[in-house]
Structure 1
Amino acid sequence: MSKEEQKAALAAAKQRLVAEGELHRLTTLHAKMQLRQALRPEALLHGAVDHAVGVAQSRLGGLLSPGGLSQLNFKAIMPYALTVGSFIVRKRLYKPALAVAAVAAAGAAWLMRRKRAEAEADAAAGEAPWE
């Protein structure tokens, strides 16, 4: 290799190293800015809310699917029931809990009555007029 080829190879290597250093500096600066943005209170609150929604969706998502409530059993309900019951007892929220339970029972009764009436109407509509 001649001296000029060596100089050209050295200049190319230097240029490559300078470009790698610039890329490293830009990457570090970008990471600093991302960290600064992520540590802002609004971003922290947004992340916490997203996490809470994701947990609730994964835990309770099966209840909203078709046939979700029919797949529940004692083992599946007990952790939730114990947590809610413990909270009610600790905070002495007996009367509000009874009121919520009464409203939920009334809503469930209304829903069951409506579904039964719809089923009877569908059955009556399905009958032939000559029968």
Structure 2
Amino acid sequence: MARRRLLLMLKPYDVYQFANQLVALSSPILSYYICFRYLDNRRKVHKDAINFCQDILRKKSNIDWEPILRTNLSQPIRNFDLVVTVGGDGTLLQASHFLDDSIPVLGVNSDPTQVKEVL
């Protein structure tokens, strides 16, 4: 069986603006604590999704794969049989800017529990 080449494109964890989602609280310290807990939870969920995908790929002996953060992608994607994006809609859309129609793309939503981020 021929070896396949796969590019695993990852979303770096960005701090999203969600100040409008916080209820006005009397204590700025409490607001920062709630903000930190929310962001830390999202980061953990995203990292778990990345680790899950990488664990699966490590078990596949017929696939050569390499991870890349989407922020490190600056050249057209070539010489891959498949691109898997792990993140959200933005990661998938960014990958599309570096591809032509000869390479299929599979998007994995790293946190599908966030309804506002699912198309």
Q: TM-score, normalised by structure 1?
A: 0.29
Structure with the larger helix share? 1
Q: TM-score, normalised by structure 2?
A: 0.32
Structure with the larger strand share? 2
